[in-house]
Amino acid sequence: MPEKPFSLAVSALIRDDEGRVLLLKRAAAASINPGKWDLPGGALDPGETFDRALWREVREETGMRVTLRHVAGAGELALPTRRVAYLVMTCDVDRTEISLSPEHEDYAWVAPGEAATMDLVEQFRGLF
């Protein structure tokens, strides 16, 4: 049986001035991980660099602009037809007000210890 191909996705670990991290709750109608808590981010478009993809995804999902600082970690998710490798970047933001996209139904700024107790998507459980 052939191995499933990998695709790349990028996610933002965004902290506010109090050290809390931003989590987004995926919509109940989402095809992957409905109702679970996630980091902002998503897949790269063909030919797109990971920094541009992350800027685009965060803007689409939260309305915020980010500045990438450094690599925070990585994760992996197995899907039926592919595996997704996630590159997680620590980011600064221009503001903390959120404008959610239809992909998400809620958001929370939580302490890292609290994030570890939430119903997180599988690929980010080891980050907190």
**Overall number of domains in the chain:** 1
Examine residue 1 and state whether it is found in any structural domain, yes or no: no
Contact yes or no for 124/88 (Cβ under 8 A): yes
Q: What confidence score (pLDDT) does residue 2 get?
A: 65
What does each of the 128 residues of the chain score in pLDDT, given as a tens digit?
A: 568 999 999 999 999 888 899 999 999 998 889 999 999 999 999 999 989 999 999 999 999 999 999 999 999 999 889 999 999 999 998 888 899 999 999 999 999 899 989 999 999 998 88
CATH code at position 61? 3.90.79.10
Neighbouring CB atoms inside 10 A of 9's CB total 20
Examine residue 121 and state whether it is found in any structural domain, yes or no: yes
Tokens 């450094």 correspond to 70
- Whole-model pTM: value is 0.91
Examine residue 87 and state whether it is found in any structural domain, yes or no: yes
Tokens 């803007």 correspond to 59
Q: What confidence score (pLDDT) does residue 95 get?
A: 81
Examine residue 105 and state whether it is found in any structural domain, yes or no: yes
Examine residue 118 and state whether it is found in any structural domain, yes or no: yes
Examine residue 72 and state whether it is found in any structural domain, yes or no: yes
Domain coverage including residue 50: 6-127
In whole angstroms, give the CA distance from residue 32 to residue 26. 9
